[in-house]
Amino acid sequence: MKKHVKIYLDYYGYGEQDVIICECCGRKAVDIHHIKRRGLGGSKRCDNIENLIGLCRDCHDKAHSDKNFNNKLKTIKKREFNGQRDQKNEVS
């Protein structure tokens, strides 16, 4: 398992077999995305929970192709860590 995936799973208390929900659209997440790119050689400082977000395939593709969409992901994470997470992303 990749280090950033383990960091994400551990932080949110997920097991390897758990279903993770896309933090953007609510569908099943299939990727843990680095909001700020790691670069070619990778960077340990980018493997922190504030920079990781669970995404479905469509949202992950958009994150890599649309800078505005990636900025939306930054906003989602900022809200989460400021205690203002959107209601649609919370489990009732």
In this predicted model, what pLDDT tens digit does every residue of 13-70 receive, in sequence order?
A: 999 999 999 999 999 999 999 998 876 455 667 889 999 999 999 999 999 999 999 9
Residue 91 lies in a domain: no
**How high is the pLDDT of residue 92?**
34
Burial class (CB in 10 A: 0-12, 13-18, 19+), 54: buried
What is the count of structural domains for the chain? 1
Residue 89 lies in a domain: no
In this predicted model, what pLDDT tens digit does every residue of 53-64 receive, in sequence order?
A: 999 999 999 999
Residue 90 lies in a domain: no
Residue 70 lies in a domain: yes
Residue 61's domain comprises 3-82
**pLDDT above 70 for 79:** yes
**Whole-angstrom distance, CA of residue 1 vs CA of residue 52:** 15
Residue 87 lies in a domain: no
